[in-house]
Structure 1
């Protein structure tokens, strides 16, 4: 190794390693690597792998095997357990062939602080999305009722002699409609802001992510007067997604279920790990989707948008963008629905 490069790696905070495949040993580890893993003995692959969190070991092995097979592997993130502490590491592995043999080498960085900050941001973002939907529901419902009542009142006084009464009824109708439109435009803008940003996939715990997203819905069941359940076939399920965008998909589906499920109804969010895929379901026992909307529900311009049971506006930009975001993740989305018996939306993602 050239002296300058050697000096840089020795002084770097990043972790550098080189493993000689034919000799089955590490040919180089810089001080940062040794310090991160707290090594006081000659390191071996089984020793280091044992420090990787059990839930991440299979993933790490698969990525290393892919790299050794000649495939291009991007960054590999995993958790490293050292005693009672747990840290996150991001590794950039490479396969190098030289006259001296084949080397599995690369660099890594400690991303524990970054992951902690990202987790806080994700929690705040999930809270923001769910609170916005709840607020939109709580605001739009009475506004929708006011608008409906003002419309009925306008009909009753249409022939009244007092012109002021007719004028007031029209004003109530006009301003309630304007407020409903403002709520819809605001929610549209929020969804568009998230959908329009470049996709950045990361390996995350899907169970944890959706639990965070639905926490506020669960905490507001009494106010919403609906039961919300979460079910999963496992305690942890890992998948590569863009967290912000995918949370928007879940948030939009749950919001739609809230709008079209009557008081006392039930909404269930489920996650099932299959052999090659992860299946996510959002089910409700609401009014269902009329058959005439089934064929065009996911199209950009369709007539399937409906106000909620309590006058809630059609928030979000419709099912077409949800479908687009799911497809960005190499997934598929479909639904089953029968009018009067509820709906179930399915999202299938590759593991």
Structure 2
């Protein structure tokens, strides 16, 4: 009955649909033909209305090869769930640039048959904009983390040398001692400000609301590791290794939050790994889930600190090799972000033999 009411005034609906920029359509599953599509649909997919109405199968040839299994899976879900929203995929139209499409559709069933109605829109510019934001955000995160670790060492050295000066100048004039105390206080303030800034950046990115989108996680990980490799041997003396599938691995993630958690795991590995040490990042596609691994050959985690490692304001917090401070929130926020994605995080470690952290996250 619902479908009969919905399509009873089809001419009026069609006139309204023509006034919007979105591509509207009605597809008959019984005849495998479009019953209706507006001008925006023809423009979006590069087909005339006559050709699209006569041969809908031509559209299948435009689907990006890597996205076809995903779309077949979404179609199967539509048949059971009757509604699908925010389906993002790519099309490749001859002599045109690749496009990202966002599709929303519903299934209507009646005695006469079954119809799929919905709309699609070109989100290519939005995807490009988001990719650039993520690229520069990843660059910012890795740069800030590297600078915080690298600058911690000279600040700590300054504080240590000042303590020696204080010992030597015990009997000196009070003016000199006051200057030494002033230098010491400012060195400590500078070190604290750097770490506080990094901590606040991470805390602000961990708000509870998720905004998921379909992303190639391998592409994002490559950008992140490339940023670190650009600075290895310079600001930071570590070896970074990335192992992942050659084919894209698509997931539905709040990519800003998830990559911040991913980046923070690497940051912790840097903090507890000596110079010239190795940090290995692995991405493993497990069909319905993806396993992320960050392994280092650093100083490891003492056994007595391991049980409370993921606690908020944990007692397991400790300074890094170069004196980097911790407020004890990093691991709890990583766990929170992973769990919001319906995943889990855990680790394995022996003191003096490095640590390996795992994040297992569903693709959807």
Task: State the TM-score, normalized to the length of structure 2.
Answer: 0.90
CA deviation string 1:229-258 (max 9, x = no partner)? 111133311111101101111111111111
1:176 — aligned with what? 187
2:21 — aligned with what? 13
2:102 — aligned with what? 90
Please tell me whether residue 196 in structure 1 is matched to residue 207 in structure 2.
yes
CA deviation string 1:312-343 (max 9, x = no partner)? 23278320011000111111101111111111
**Local SS of the residue matching 1:22:** coil
The answer to whether the Cα contact below 8 Å between 2:315 and 2:328 also exists between their aligned partners in 1 is no
2:80 — aligned with what? 69
**Local SS of the residue matching 1:218:** helix
2:337 — aligned with what? 325
2:35 to 16, 27, 32: 27
- The offset of 1:205, in angstroms, is 0.2
CA deviation string 1:300-320 (max 9, x = no partner)? 121222222112232783200
The answer to whether the Cα contact below 8 Å between 1:77 and 1:203 also exists between their aligned partners in 2 is yes
Aligned residues: 350
2:11 — aligned with what? 3
- The offset of 1:284, in angstroms, is 0.9
The answer to whether the Cα contact below 8 Å between 1:145 and 1:311 also exists between their aligned partners in 2 is no
1:185 — aligned with what? 196
Counterparts of 2:303 and 2:245, CA distance in 1: 31
Q: 1:298 to 1:197 in 2, by over 3 A?
A: closer
CA deviation string 1:99-131 (max 9, x = no partner)? 532211101111111111111111121111111
1:218 to 229, 240, 251: 229
The answer to whether the Cα contact below 8 Å between 1:142 and 1:311 also exists between their aligned partners in 2 is no
The answer to whether the Cα contact below 8 Å between 2:152 and 2:323 also exists between their aligned partners in 1 is yes
Please tell me whether residue 297 in structure 1 is matched to residue 309 in structure 2.
yes
1:350 — aligned with what? 362
The answer to whether the Cα contact below 8 Å between 2:106 and 2:116 also exists between their aligned partners in 1 is yes
Counterparts of 1:226 and 1:12, CA distance in 2: 54
What are structure 1's unaligned runs of at least 5 residues?
none
Counterparts of 2:268 and 2:156, CA distance in 1: 16
The answer to whether the Cα contact below 8 Å between 1:89 and 1:108 also exists between their aligned partners in 2 is yes
1:1-351 pair list within 5 angstroms: 1-40=9-48, 41-42=51-52, 44=55, 46-84=57-95, 85-154=97-166, 156-157=167-168, 160=171, 163=174, 166-196=177-207, 198-223=209-234, 224-314=236-326, 317-351=329-363
- The offset of 1:174, in angstroms, is 2.1
The answer to whether the Cα contact below 8 Å between 1:234 and 1:272 also exists between their aligned partners in 2 is no
What are structure 2's unaligned runs of at least 5 residues?
1-8
Counterparts of 1:161 and 1:112, CA distance in 2: 69
RMSD over aligned CA atoms reads: 2.0
- The offset of 1:47, in angstroms, is 2.7
Counterparts of 2:340 and 2:149, CA distance in 1: 29
